[in-house]
A and B are shown apart, each in its own frame.
Chain A
Amino acid sequence: MRFPISLSRVVAGLCFAVAASVALAQEAPDALVKRVAGEVLQIIKTDPKVQAGDQQRIREVVESKLLPYFDFERITALAMGRNWRQASPEQQKQLVDQFRALLVRTYSGALAQYRDQVMDYKPLRADANATDVTVRTEVIRQGQQPVQIDYSMTKSPSGWKVYDVIVGGVSLVTNYRDEFTEQIKSGGIDGLIKTLNAKNQGAPAK
């Protein structure tokens, strides 16, 4: 019996999709950073809405292109430090949601300021079996010191995920740990959730 032509195309398409997703899951962490950064920068440079400073569109790009590669639960847990275990599952969920929203806003703002800097990707020095690596990149700006941007990544069943970003030696997680600790000291975990929520409700900064 012969397959109708359309059905065999669907099957072929499915096989391709499965193969692609398997390949993606096995994509090396440095290759992943390079690909995702390249894709995002390409959109930033060519999308007319992004060029016009359309915050909504920039946020869409961040949500669809960047977010899948970040492990927000791990990021939040690390930023909470030992307070993470004091939080109830419901509080943890809210913290992850609010922190994710804050980081999306921040990232969108940063991307809106992106000009034509050049990214340089350093070769990855890690064991083939490593499950925790740091991918090193550098932003090169004419006549200025290059800025190092490192991504701490961990291997998950669905591929490599970022759990910290270190810009010029300044770790995102470490920075927020101070802020979170301070908030929790004065208002408890619920106080922190409230503060994050209020910050996210506020008008986006210019």
Chain B
Amino acid sequence: MIRLRLPALLAAALLLSACASTPGRPYDPFEASNRVMYAINDPLDKYIAKPIAQAWVDYVPSFIRTGASNYFNNIDDLFSGINGLLQGKLDKAGDDFGRVMINTGFGFLGLIDIASEAGIPRGNEDFGQTFGYWGIPQGPYLFIPLWGPSTVRDGTGSILRYWYTPTQLIPDVAVRNVIYGIGAIDARAQALGATSLLEQASIDPYTFVRRSYLQRREYLVYDGKPPPEKEEE
């Protein structure tokens, strides 16, 4: 039962903080503190996360990196299947669960992505999208250092997803932590090209990231067919 407690607490904390809103952009009532978090994230990313991810790409053999990505993708596929089910998208969920079974069983716990070779497409459902599909609003926008953009809805989903990850089943704490560490590096390495482009494209990177994130999530919730946007202000 201990496992249940943390996500519930964090979700409650997120929701509570969501109530203390200030006027401004309706979707970003915490803009002032979010901007502080964004400013904190900048040096953390520049001097810690990004160099580590770059070293990972430069010095670790590609078959190890691919194996690591595949391992985490396999877990994502599992959650994609669960969320497909939660949204009643049985076809997609079937693909996802099929992938997980093939890759876990024949691909050494997901280290080899046989299912992609076999042409089974990857899904990309997650808890945040499920909540959106159920009609739960996204709630205030949040920027979390070293994690990135989120919302109360998506953040709650991410907490669920990482709290119940199968990696938790590994009994050895040290091994588990190494895997979590590699997961974080792998995630950052995937986005290495994106940051320089962001600096080039945006006038105010904070606004740019926020709008990109919110648009992207809306698009995913509606499976690529979001309703036409309303003119703001």
Contact = CB atoms under 8 A, between A and B. Distances in A.
Contacts of A180: 203
A152 interface: no
Given A143-B70, A148-B224, A170 B212 contact: yes
Interface of B: 66, 69-70, 73, 113, 116, 122, 124, 190, 193, 196-197, 199-204, 207-208, 210-212, 215-216, 218-220, 224, 226, 229, 231-233
A169 interface: yes
Contact of A195 (B197, B203, B219): B203
Interface of A: 81-82, 102, 105-106, 109-110, 113, 143-145, 148, 168-171, 174-175, 177-183, 195-196, 199, 204-206
Given A148-B224, A170-B219, A181-B233, A113 B116 contact: no
Contacts of B190: 144
A206 B69 CA distance: 26
A106 B197 contact: yes
B39 to A, nearest CB: 17
B17 to A, nearest CB: 23
B203 A196 contact: yes
Interface SS, A side = helix
Contacts of B200: 105-106, 109, 204-205
B207 A182 contact: yes
Contacts of B232: 177, 181
A113 B193 CA distance: 7
A81 B226 CA distance: 20
A169 B218 contact: yes
Contact of A206 (B124, B196, B215, B226): B196
A148 B226 CA distance: 14
Among A144, A177, A178, A181, find the residue whose CB has the most chain B CB atoms closer than 10 A: A178
A106 B201 contact: yes
Given A143-B116, A145-B122, A169-B219, A182 B197 contact: no
A190 to B, nearest CB: 15
